[in-house]
Structure 1
Amino acid sequence: MQVIDRVELYYVKTPLPAPHAPSWIPGTIREHVSMCIVRFVTEDGIEGWSGFPAAGRERAGLGDLLAGLFLGQDAEDIDTMAERIQIMAAGGNFNWWIEPAFWDIKAKAAGLPLYKLLGGTDDRIRLYASSGELRAPADRREEAEARLSEGFDTMKIRVHDFDEAVDIEHISDIATYMQGRMKISVDCNQAFRLTQNGDAPLWSLDRAKRFVDAAADVGLAWVEEPLFGEWHEEMAQLATHARVPVAGGELHVMGYRELARMLAMGCYDIYQPDAMWAGGIGQCLKVAALCREKGLKFTPHCWSNGFGFIVNAHVFAASGFAGEALFEYPLSPPGWIPEARDLIFAQPFLHKEGWFHMPDAPGLGFEIDQRNLETYGRCFFRGSRKSVHWMPEALSDL
């Protein structure tokens, strides 16, 4: 039993080498990687870490919940830990990103990398390059050539224009240009709308049908999230219509129950739940097992930060799909590169010619760079079973 004795929360903000304009948040320019990091420590001194994107300081009040729900509990009892995360959700806080920290502890206690603890045997996974920005056709061609030269044989691009003809032109141009050399897929980012800084298109079922028809005509590998996330019935209609695989599922915060319902309805051909949003590691692996049973594909989403990448890499390596599917590798130079995204870690999560070699250290398999944590982060909550300490002033200079 690994009893949780202490918990700490950090707000971390590390710099990017160049501005990054994520396609799914129109009008937004990112110059930093901002995140909330949690560190649990057991009575035996085993640490469990996880971290989640932060727009700012919106999780500054999370400490009391974590202290009340998790201190004194057995970190290895994942079902109870998940139930307590669900209690937080009932109060309006969906915090599935916390669950991997308990798996980190459990696997470290067992002396195994997490994916091996979960039954995985593939120590390396094949990747596809996942671009995060909108680009003009000529720039997209240059990007594809760069990724091909680095060892990737599949690249995912983004479209997000109000004019559907522009979106179709983008996929047609790059697919035709790279035909026979590299497979192209596309993320439409229609499952949710982040419009706080700029307006965004909202596709209808008819527009999505026209787009998947165009994608099939030019041989795209898959089309990702072409409809709003709660439109389950429309998704099923689209998947029946499409001549190209339709993928999605990353941010379904209700987890396994919702995704299992969607699977039964035939919403997607490829399921991509992200453990940091969609129910944690345990529920995502249940989705993978259901996909195997139904003859569908499974590969998690991981576009968030280094924690999201490595957590979902363990899910994928343990899922049984690592030998037959590709795993996402976020890469959008010059701004979004792993060396900058992963500054908080002792080593960035780098690919080798389009492959990622799973860590062989116990747990999630990383070490935190304590110097960078001190430089770019501030601990704003520290709690134990004896006392709790709030440090709101620690955020004032970040």
Structure 2
Amino acid sequence: MPITLSRITVAAYRVPISSPVATSFGVMHNRPAVFVRLEDGDGAFGWGEVFANWPAAGAEHRARLLVEDMGDLLLGQPFDDASELFTQLTEKTHIRALQCGEWGPFRQVIAGLDTAMTDLVARRAGLSVAQYLNPQAEHTVPCYASGIAIGQADHQITQGQEAGFSTYKVKVGFDLTQDTALLTGLFSTLGAGETLCADANQAWALPEAERFVAACTDLPLGWLEEPLPADASLTHWRALADQSPIPLAGGENITGTGGFADAIATGVFGVLQPDIAKWGGFSGCWPVAQAIRAAGQRYCPHYLGGGIGLIASAHLLAAAGGDGLLEVDVNPNPLRDAFDTWQGATHRGTLTLSDAPGLGITHLPDEIAEFVTYSRDLHI
């Protein structure tokens, strides 16, 4: 039956943090999130999350973009399923995004809306999202510890080990000599069967990336993530891949089915990492995940944000299967932690999905209400 949306509720959140989260391109001084709830005329509902980490004022901007630039395209409009919402919104906002050059924000808002719509549809079907996508979906997904600052990695890896992780990803791209020296030392802290990966966050041009790879040739890194800008030429990516014994990873800043088809076809990536909150939602990322798996490549969804997007990423990985890992940021974030995704368990190396319909989220945690910076409730 067609789904006609009768209510849209969106809120932006921002939590102060005592320890900033630093990447090679900038520093996060607080933790933001944008959560959206869709409801149809029968009272069925679904939750989604919109990417809001960058720029600094991104959360409020994206929440307002949803309300003021897309509300008229949603309320009272019939959709057969989530993919139709995704396709229609992409087409109908094309000129609006072109007019202002804000392709990213529009794609991110549509991704969050698609996640909410998929949650709603799966909930109506009485299935978890993972089971809705794939009846043979896994019930658990393995996780790795992410967002680890290279200068604090000794401490954070020890904490990660206590939490049950066995794979860790540290942020590099600050000082090549210091980064490589610190990485070398970190291997002595790892136990048997543990893996260390590195994330440069697009820090280098090809010559610097080549120097890093040469300096780390003898280090058994699990992967090297975004050593080059996502829009670097294929020639540069190929040149680096040809000389790197370390698998290259990327995908969080690739958008569009065509963009991922090209990335898969090149064969330069050992690991591909679509981000469900940045582009595609389930309608875009589920076919991409299937294509990655069909090509024999490793699918590890990228994610760094609030609790809804993390849970959605887990359902996507559970449906895709394979040897992928769920990214779990180890830095404090009340907008993620309040969802109690592990249901009180201290072991974080594996996440067990809820069998509840949809994403298993019925309402937002009460304790995050104090962090709202913008909210709107649209209805007909």
Give me the TM-score of the superposition, normalised by structure 2: 0.86
Aligned counterparts, 1:170-319, within 5 A: 170-178=182-190, 180=192, 182-190=194-202, 202-233=203-234, 234-252=236-254, 254-319=255-320
Q: Percent identity?
A: 26
* Aligned residue in 2 for 1:44: 42
* Aligned residue in 2 for 1:26: 26
Q: Give the CA deviation at 1:167.
A: 1.7
* Aligned residue in 1 for 2:101: none
Q: Give the CA deviation at 1:222.
A: 0.8
User: Whole-Å Cα distance in 2 between the matches of residues 275 and 73 of structure 1?
Assistant: 24
Q: Give the CA deviation at 1:75.
A: 4.9
- Indicate yes or no: 2:109 matched with 1:88: no
* Aligned residue in 2 for 1:356: 351
**In structure 2, which of residues 353, 372, 376 is the aligned counterpart of residue 381 of structure 1?**
376
* Aligned residue in 1 for 2:142: 126
Structure 2 gap segments, 5+ residues each: 98-105
Structure with bigger helix share is 2
Q: What amino acid is the match of 1:183? A: T
Q: Deviations over 1:133-182 (max 9, x none)?
A: 342xxx42232222122211111111121x31112112211124426352
User: Whole-Å Cα distance in 2 between the matches of residues 311 and 115 of structure 1?
Assistant: 9
Q: Give the CA deviation at 1:90.
A: 4.2
* Aligned residue in 2 for 1:157: 170
For the residue of structure 2 that corresponds to 1:360, the secondary structure is: coil
Aligned counterparts, 1:54-65, within 5 A: 55-56=56-57, 57-59=60-62, 60-65=64-69
User: Whole-Å Cα distance in 1 between the matches of residues 205 and 328 of structure 2?
Assistant: 29
* Aligned residue in 2 for 1:390: none
Q: Deviations over 1:160-216 (max 9, x none)?
A: 21x3111211221112442635210011101xxxxxxxxxxx412122123223334
Q: Give the CA deviation at 1:379.
A: 5.9
User: Whole-Å Cα distance in 1 between the matches of residues 238 and 192 of structure 2?
Assistant: 31
* Aligned residue in 2 for 1:326: 325
User: Whole-Å Cα distance in 1 between the matches of residues 155 and 374 of structure 2?
Assistant: 42
* Aligned residue in 1 for 2:129: 114
For the residue of structure 2 that corresponds to 1:63, the secondary structure is: helix
* Aligned residue in 2 for 1:396: none
- Indicate yes or no: 2:317 matched with 1:341: no
For the residue of structure 2 that corresponds to 1:342, the secondary structure is: helix
Q: Give the CA deviation at 1:260.
A: 0.7
User: Whole-Å Cα distance in 2 between the matches of residues 158 and 379 of structure 1?
Assistant: 31
User: Whole-Å Cα distance in 2 between the matches of residues 145 and 65 of structure 1?
Assistant: 46
Q: Deviations over 1:86-106 (max 9, x none)?
A: 133542222222210000101
Aligned counterparts, 1:139-154, within 5 A: 139-154=152-167
> Against the structure 1 CA distance between its residues 281 and 232, is the aligned structure 2 distance closer, same or farther, given a 3 Å change threshold?
farther
Give me the TM-score of the superposition, normalised by structure 1: 0.83
User: For the aligned residues, what is the CA RMSD?
Assistant: 2.3
> Against the structure 1 CA distance between its residues 240 and 285, is the aligned structure 2 distance closer, same or farther, given a 3 Å change threshold?
farther
Q: How many residues align?
A: 358
For the residue of structure 1 that corresponds to 2:149, the secondary structure is: coil
User: Whole-Å Cα distance in 2 between the matches of residues 361 and 145 of structure 1?
Assistant: 34
Q: Give the CA deviation at 1:325.
A: 2.5
User: Whole-Å Cα distance in 2 between the matches of residues 165 and 179 of structure 1?
Assistant: 25
Q: What amino acid is the match of 1:71? A: L
Q: Deviations over 1:95-141 (max 9, x none)?
A: 22221000010110001110011114211111111134342xxx422
User: Whole-Å Cα distance in 2 between the matches of residues 374 and 153 of structure 1?
Assistant: 34
